[in-house]
Structure 1
């Protein structure tokens, strides 16, 4: 999931009349009665990172948190590689950095409405700090999980 440029829900991907959960390896068939196929291939690891470079686009912190939480719930290893050029901040920390501001949660590029640019509407304050300064802490810790060794 790198670069992560929008929200991703892994535990309910739809393919016509079938729903696939790649974190658990289950197919849910929309049939009468509903049928479940278990034990299909599943993900062992999800790697998340933001975009870096001159034209880097920001990653909303909630997108990374959501993937971390989905992986934790399914017992899948989660690795947070980096924020990229942009990182969560506050107006006080940004101290007038013109490359900072509120970003809405929408996963597609659009001009946000004023009502979308508040925390209550899911907006996050982010700052363009550069890849190195942005770091790789997600909610105060590093996430370096790796899948278990298979025999």
Structure 2
């Protein structure tokens, strides 16, 4: 796999109606720290797992991927800490919310 790895993700994904110019890597739940490069990735979404059998996420893993995204100029979106409910841990990482998004392509008629 290129780029980042999370337990449920095996390949960089393309959301519906996404142009070939944007490849994003959803990392929720982010349950292991393994990433090596961000080549070809246009957006990283990371966060913890929620639900009654959630697995905790390590803060340092998230900080490391946020820093790697910053260095590579890849937008980083931190979704949630996770817990028994999606809102249990909040959305702040290192004292801030991370809602970066890739630029939207121009709409042509």
Which category describes the TM-score, using the shorter chain as reference length? Answer: 0.5 to 0.7
Structure 1 unaligned regions, length at least 5: 12-22, 25-41, 86-128
Q: Secondary structure at the residue paired with 1:82?
A: coil
1:62 matched to 2:60? The reply is yes
Residues paired across the two proteins, number? 80
1:148 matched to 2:103? The reply is yes
Higher helix share: 1
Cα gap change, 1:53 to 1:133, in 2 (>3 Å): closer
- Of residues 70, 90, 93, the one that matches 1:138 is 93
Name the residue aligned to 2:4: none
Deviating 4+ runs (over 6 angstroms): none
Q: TM-score, normalization: structure 2?
A: 0.67
Higher strand share: 1
Name the residue aligned to 1:50: 48
- Preserved CA contact (<8 Å) 1:8 1:67: no
- Preserved CA contact (<8 Å) 2:42 2:74: yes
- Preserved CA contact (<8 Å) 1:10 1:70: no
Name the residue aligned to 2:32: 6
Q: TM-score, normalization: structure 1?
A: 0.50
Larger Rg: 1
Equivalent residue runs for 1:2-151 within 5 Å: 2-11=28-37, 23-24=38-39, 42-85=40-83, 130-151=85-106
Return the offset for 1:149.
2.6
Q: Secondary structure at the residue paired with 1:46?
A: strand
Structure 2 unaligned regions, length at least 5: 1-26
CA distance in 1, matches of 2:33, 2:67: 13
